[in-house]
Amino acid sequence: MRILEKSPCAFLSNCEIWRVRPDTIDTELQIFIVGPEGSWPEETRFGVTFATDAEQFGNMVPNMVRTLTTFGDVYPSYTVSIGYAPTSAQAYSVQRARDLTPTEWPAYSAFFTEALNEPTVLATGKALDFLNFIIDELQPALNAAYPINLQDSTLAGHDLGGLFTLFAFLNRPEAFQNYLAISPALWWAESALINLAQDTTASTLSPKSKLYLCAGALEAQHPTESLVSALPEDLQAKLPQGILRPDIAGHIHRLEAALAPWKTQGLTLHTATIPNETQGSVIGAGLSQGLRALNSLTEIYGG
């Protein structure tokens, strides 16, 4: 990974922005690194929360961590939000569909290539490359530059970011201790990740990890239907199954069943359906409840 530029962040204190070019992904990324406020002994090393989709959550995640820290709900920590540089040639939505999805889905690619009027076929299924970048390139660079403790790390994401979080948990579970998946897109590729979970739990021992899964109780009020209705009828007919009115809560229940063998081997699994929250509004509630469940002071100090 080459660090192309480091700059201060205008909207948060104790924040630095890195513009980087990975060795294994052909794009430029923007990394928002936010440290805890206050003065600390020089030898202090902090836990760290990694989050996808900095374009949406680059401000929300560090502010949530700071608020919870202020009120004594979690221990002070760093946050690292990963997004795409403004100089990237492709749109954010196109790149996240490529980097956050664990398997190719040709029907999805064909539909959105046409819907977005993209000149080339939309790529999908490159989550492993993105995960390897975070673990093998970004984490070592951050560990050398900041007082972080990678043995106290959390990976968080929403929607496709939640899907990516679950893929990381199943694929390289040792890389993070805690996983927070908010309204994960388990409908992707006809629930391919649930099938992966069934195969993985049947063939490998459980990691000593904590996983928090949540969805909003009002997820059925999904905006996809109104967006799709504005498209030409011939294009609507090409929409892959599972995207319209996805049963997020049902998918989470199926995933929980697939992970059941690991619950007796060391996995700590929390699931929640959060009342009065839609797919969008559940982000804040999921962050708050998930971070407290995974990183609470009561668990750290036993009180």
Cβ pair 147, 157 in contact under 8 A: no
Examine the pLDDT at 140 and tell me if it is beyond 60. yes
Examine the pLDDT at 237 and tell me if it is beyond 80. no
Residue 262 to residue 259: CA distance in whole angstroms: 6
pLDDT at 301: 34
| pLDDT digits 0-9 by tens, 42-73 | 999 999 999 999 998 889 999 999 999 999 99
| pLDDT digits 0-9 by tens, 119-128 | 888 899 999 9
pLDDT at 303: 36
| Average pLDDT estimate for 135-139 | 98
pLDDT more than 70, % of the chain:
94
Distances (CA, A) of 143 to 65, 74, 140: 20, 21, 5
Cβ pair 286, 223 in contact under 8 A: no
Which of 3.40.190.10, 3.30.413.10, 1.10.490.10, 3.40.50.1820 would CATH assign to domain 2-295? 3.40.50.1820
Confidence of residue 239 (pLDDT cuts 50, 70, 90): confident
Handedness of CA 74, 78, 81, 86 (dihedral sign): positive
Examine the pLDDT at 241 and tell me if it is beyond 90. no
Confidence of residue 232 (pLDDT cuts 50, 70, 90): confident
pLDDT at 233: 77
pLDDT at 299: 46
| pLDDT digits 0-9 by tens, 97-106 | 999 999 999 9
| Average pLDDT estimate for 148-155 | 97
| pLDDT digits 0-9 by tens, 19-39 | 999 999 999 999 999 999 989
pLDDT at 298: 43
Which helix (H) or strand (E) element contains residue 273? Answer: strand 268-274
| Average pLDDT estimate for 221-242 | 71
pTM, to two decimals:
0.94
Q: Tell me the two tokens of residue 188.
A: 């992707």
Higher per-residue confidence, 203 vs 118? 203
Q: Residue ranges per domain, the chain?
A: 2-295
Q: What is the DSSP string of 44-82?
A: --EEEEEES-HHHHTTHHHHHHHHHHHTTSB--EEEEEE
The tokens 């996805």 sit on which residue?
A: 246
